[in-house]
Structure 1
Amino acid sequence: MKILVPIKRVVDHNVKVRIKSDGSGVDFNNVKMSINPFDEIAIEEAVRLKEAGIATEVIAVSCGAKACQETLRTALAVGADRAIQVNTDADLEPLGVAKILKQIVKREAPQLVICGKQAIDDDCNQTGQMLSALLGWSQGTFASELKVDANELSVTREIDGGLETLMLALPAVVSCDLRLNQPRYASLPNIMKAKRKPLEVIELNELNVDVKQRVTAINYTFPATRSAGVMVEDVAELVSKLREEARVL
């Protein structure tokens, strides 16, 4: 079984995001970048399936500028066999990414695509579902447990009311939730080995896909500062404030 894992280069989750002074976008100057945390989980799960003898090859793919190669090398260091960079400077939306991944899937013919449920920069949570629809494949979202048996896939997913288990026919697209696994750290020897693993660069125009933006951000601002809480003496005062000041009752 061949597994494809899309990954995204995002601002590191420990870094406080800065907005440009004119509000036109996020300031990426001198900001640490890393793999999207949900995509780290996807890579870890794919590598575990390979270590268990279920998968034969793990391929990491990322869409973006040359800087994405650093992110892909990290994926190679934690166990991916090879990587693909779709080279573009365009601002990609989930639909555009899904179209690109569809073409990569056609080229590589994997039996399973494992991706993070969402990216921590835009929080769209759309790419996996869109890719599944474009391919006409089975899909399992928010996976907290994954089991592969022959041509069938068991996905336990988190829903509002608890857990739901789906049986999917392969090929399939699965998006990962936080509780699926704990990603490993890349060891120094594996980081060195990753430099020698194959990394293919494909130009976006070679794929012949439409990645035109359909949503435009007008302005970026920080969330409003939360005001201090109010202490109340009893339930009656609380109800009064909710009704007369907050107007939620």
Structure 2
Amino acid sequence: MAVQYHTARFRLVPALAKALTVATPPIRKPGTLWIELPRPIAAGTEPAGHVRIGYARASTVRQSLNTQLDALQAAGVTRVFAEKISTRATTHPELDKAIDLARELRAAGVAVTLVVHEHKRLGRGLDLAALAEQLRAAGINLEFLTGELQGSHDPSGVVFTVLAALSGMEREYIRDRTLEGHESARARGRTIGGAAVTDEAMLSMALHLREQNLSLRDIAARLVITKGKKKGQHPSPATVLRMLREHDGAAAVPTTMG
């Protein structure tokens, strides 16, 4: 496929020459099998039906999806994609499948709405905003059955984008408040994250291993907890890092001679 048509007749009519500048799709290249691309939906064309696709997600395997599935069924959703995976996961396979199906139906001229129990099932902050951009580009509607963003949202409008941004701000606010609470507890001498598993003997061994230029993971694998519920287990690399940082910080404080 040529990037631009060059014929004598079009050169005689400059307006036509400009109108026939065609961008070559990425999949159109020498040696590739020809396939028919989705045809654009003509402006003003009425959708050939309406499909409601549901998506449900739980953050852990132990959490139940029954509440979400029942709500989606009551909302008239017949096709549901469900998975148990953390919000922090970089990919959500079932969500990707739902969006792919929605795109195919939309390209065929069918109106599509992605229905979710609550906006948190899709993600927060930048992830939710990025998803909104995908839906906007494909012309897919979005509906939440409950929660702060309950109702139908048109991805082409600005309301959903603003609410997605507010959701991200909420997450940052909660994170900041949590960190402030931890700092306040430490200032009062309280331990964060359960009972302490480190002691002087573990610190001494960790310092010795650090001098040998071992990684935190290797140091942790050579240490053993001697007390508490985790007795006999290895501390985590994060615990070793915190222990060494506290030691280094205390050693850096100058002492006053009496």
What TM-score comes out, normalization by structure 1 length?
Answer: 0.29
More helix per residue: 2
More strand per residue: 1
Higher RCO by CA contacts (8 Å cutoff, separation 6 or greater)? 1
What TM-score comes out, normalization by structure 2 length?
Answer: 0.28
Bigger Rg, which one = 2
